[in-house]
């Protein structure tokens, strides 16, 4: 009888906060496109005699994230020196937080859609975090032509590190956690969450055990993964490797593994470090971090309604489907845009949802801009859909108007008048064109009269072409049916 295994997965995420300056100095924090070693100073390169000064904005953004993660924010926390020797760590230590971190416990909820739930109802499960702390980033090294180059620009960039409990069971779940975390970071406006640029980095701890067991076996750590898809691929390959090793009777060793994205393989880097290797001790150059009740209250005034809460409200109060609610709460700007639009529109909110998902988002992506940058404002979208509802323009004309509104910034009614796009509702004018179309197409008329009534759509299309898409479709069909009897 074959043994069934399950994976036990925990993630360590490093989140680069989007502050203007670094965590302990005034150097520019975002240096992705800058020349190597162009944003450095004596503080972030660890020269003798310098002192770090804590960036207040770093603390505020970290507290905001801790609250959104339902974590317990600590009134008093400490900075520590984490000692290790890499070429890109000029001080020989990293200022971090160890046993007295900014926040403890907490969780991130993952919505499981009805389609993935055996009971067909869908549910939300929580992935718990062990702790959340702030720290400085190290630099980076680059190898070219058998030489290794060091860039210190990233030294001192502010990070939040979050460590999950071993709550995840599949590579797909790990991917979903990262997707939801990235959504939350962007929603709060505290990080771009772009893994390719290093704004969000993830190390995965992976072990396996027999299904039904509660034992935590030896784990390996996967590093240097730079996309969510790569995280899933690397975890899945490591699960499969560990199962093969165990079935051969081999013990799993606590390795640190490097993911080669180009080759799609894991390679051993070194034996996994333990906390003792880092020789932590309190940072002597920084005071304890005290977050008073007043300061915490000021920070949390900026905490918005969270994505899953808004998603649930859209489904409950607006009666829109789960699929729509997922898309409309994918980012904060989009959710705000939707709510402002339905507040101005007198009609079925599902129509606005459809317009946003099918037309507006496609145009936004083509133009490469955010919702807040669009000239097609919520008021203009509400007005455009209202014109269709009132029969002033047809749906085709409305869709063709979208880019014209975006280009000109003019409201829909003005453009309809200027371009002469209003629906032709004059019975006599439409009747004359309908009669012309019927007279010019005797073969199709004969087929229709012999029972091929689906041709009515073809006749309507011919009239629409004659009137440049402006004929009232209902009136056109009514007149054609009279003439075709």
* Orientation angle between helical segments 332-344 and 307-317, nearest 10 degrees: 30
Q: Is the pLDDT at 121 greater than 60, yes or no?
A: no
Q: Sketch the domain layout of the chain as residue ranges.
A: 5-298, 307-419, 427-484
Least confident piece of the model among 60-69, 178-187, 350-359, 443-452: 443-452
C-alpha R_g of the chain:
30
pLDDT band at 460 (very low <50, low <70, confident <90, very high): confident
Position 459 scores a pLDDT of 86
Q: Is the pLDDT at 45 greater than 90, yes or no?
A: yes
Q: Is the pLDDT at 52 greater than 70, yes or no?
A: yes
Asked if 441 contacts 458 with a C-beta cutoff of 8 angstroms, the reply is no
Position 273 scores a pLDDT of 60
Mean pLDDT score, 33-56: 93
Mean pLDDT score, 429-445: 85
Mean pLDDT score, 433-444: 87
Position 480 scores a pLDDT of 85
Q: Is the pLDDT at 211 greater than 80, yes or no?
A: yes
Cα–Cα dist 175/177, whole Å: 5
Least confident piece of the model among 118-122, 389-393, 398-402: 118-122
Cα–Cα dist 82/78, whole Å: 13
Name the helix (H) or strand (E) containing 432. Answer: helix 427-440
Mean pLDDT score, 163-175: 93
- Over residues 93-120, the pLDDT tens digits come to 999 999 999 999 999 998 876 666 666 5
Cα–Cα dist 319/312, whole Å: 10
Asked if 237 contacts 266 with a C-beta cutoff of 8 angstroms, the reply is yes
Q: Is the pLDDT at 191 greater than 80, yes or no?
A: yes
Q: Where are the alpha helices (DSSP H) in 141-261?
A: 171-188, 228-247
pLDDT band at 277 (very low <50, low <70, confident <90, very high): confident
- For residue 126 the two structure tokens come to 């929580």
Least confident piece of the model among 18-27, 97-106, 292-301, 430-439: 430-439
pLDDT band at 73 (very low <50, low <70, confident <90, very high): very high
Position 268 scores a pLDDT of 85
Q: Is the pLDDT at 188 greater than 90, yes or no?
A: yes
Quick one: residue 103, left, alpha or beta (phi over 0 = left, psi -120 to 50 = alpha)?
Answer: beta
Mean pLDDT score, 355-360: 94
Dihedral sign for Cα 160, 163, 168, 172, please: positive
Q: Where are the alpha helices (DSSP H) in 356-420?
A: 361-367, 378-389, 395-408, 412-419
Strands ordered across the beta sheet of 93-96: 93-96, 80-83, 281-282
Place of tokens 């969000």: 200
Question: Span 427-484: which CATH code?
Answer: 1.10.10.410
Q: Is the pLDDT at 223 greater than 90, yes or no?
A: no
Q: Is the pLDDT at 468 greater than 90, yes or no?
A: no
Asked if 186 contacts 192 with a C-beta cutoff of 8 angstroms, the reply is yes
**In sequence order, what DSSP letters do the residues of 457-469 get, joined into one string?**
HHHHHHHHHHTTT
Mean of per-residue pLDDT scores for the chain: 89
Position 104 scores a pLDDT of 94
- For residue 166 the two structure tokens come to 């071993």
**Paired strand residues for 200:** 15
Phi, psi of 5 (to 5 degrees): -110, 155
Mean pLDDT score, 40-51: 93
- The bridge status of strand 76-77 relative to strand 220-225 is unpaired
Q: Is the pLDDT at 226 greater than 70, yes or no?
A: yes
- Over residues 128-154, the pLDDT tens digits come to 999 999 999 999 888 888 888 999 999
Cα–Cα dist 460/389, whole Å: 20
CA 200 to mean position of chain CA atoms? 12
Mean pLDDT score, 383-392: 89
């Amino acid at each position: 009888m074959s043994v069934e295994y399950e994976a036990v997965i925990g993630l360590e995420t490093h989140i680069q906060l989007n502050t203007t300056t670094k965590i302990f100095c005034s150097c520019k924090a975002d240096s992705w496109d800058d020349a190597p070693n162009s944003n450095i100073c004596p503080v972030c390169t660890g020269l003798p005699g310098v002192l770090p000064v804590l960036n207040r904005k770093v603390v505020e953004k970290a507290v905001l994230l801790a609250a959104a993660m339902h974590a317990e924010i600590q009134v008093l926390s400490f900075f520590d020196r984490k000692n290790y020797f890499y070429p890109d760590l000029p001080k020989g230590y990293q200022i971090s937080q160890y046993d007295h971190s900014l926040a403890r416990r907490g969780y991130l909820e993952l919505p499981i859609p009805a389609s993935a739930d055996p009971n067909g109802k869908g549910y939300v499960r929580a992935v718990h975090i062990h702790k959340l702390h702030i720290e400085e980033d190290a630099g980076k090294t680059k190898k070219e032509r058998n030489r290794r180059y060091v860039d210190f620009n990233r030294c001192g960039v502010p990070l939040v590190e979050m460590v999950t409990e071993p709550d995840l069971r599949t590579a797909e779940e790990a991917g979903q956690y990262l997707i939801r975390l990235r959504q939350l970071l962007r929603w709060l406006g505290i990080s771009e969450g772009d893994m390719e640029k290093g704004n969000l980095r993830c190390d995965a701890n992976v072990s396996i055990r027999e299904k039904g067991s509660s034992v935590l076996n030896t784990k390996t750590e996967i590093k240097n993964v730079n996309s969510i898809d790569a995280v899933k691929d690397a975890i899945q390959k490591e699960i499969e490797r560990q199962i093969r090793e165990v079935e051969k009777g081999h013990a799993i060793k606590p390795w640190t593994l490097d993911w080669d994205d180009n080759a799609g393989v894991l390679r051993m880097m070194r034996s996994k470090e333990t906390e003792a290797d880092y020789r932590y001790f309190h940072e002597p150059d920084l005071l304890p971090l005290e977050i008073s009740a007043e300061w915490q209250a000021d920070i949390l005034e900026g905490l918005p309604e969270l994505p899953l809460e808004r998603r649930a409200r859209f489904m409950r109060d607006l009666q829109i489907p789960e699929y729509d609610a997922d898309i409309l709460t994918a980012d904060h700007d989009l959710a705000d845009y939707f709510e402002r639009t339905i507040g101005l529109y007198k009609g079925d909110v599902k129509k606005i949802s459809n317009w946003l998902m099918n037309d507006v988002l496609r145009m936004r992506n083509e133009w490469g801009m955010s919702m807040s940058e669009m000239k097609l404002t919520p008021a203009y979208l509400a007005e455009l859909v209202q014109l269709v509802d009132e029969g002033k323009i047809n749906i085709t004309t409305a869709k063709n108007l979208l880019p014209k509104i975006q280009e000109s910034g003019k409201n829909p009614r003005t453009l309809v008048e200027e371009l002469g796009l209003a629906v032709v509702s004059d019975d006599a004018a439409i009747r004359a064109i309908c009669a012309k179309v019927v007279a010019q197409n005797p073969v199709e008329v004969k087929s229709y009269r012999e029972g091929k009534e689906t041709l009515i759509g073809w006749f309507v299309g011919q009239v629409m072409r004659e009137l440049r898409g402006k004929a009232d479709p209902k009136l056109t069909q009514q007149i054609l049916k009279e003439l075709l009897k």
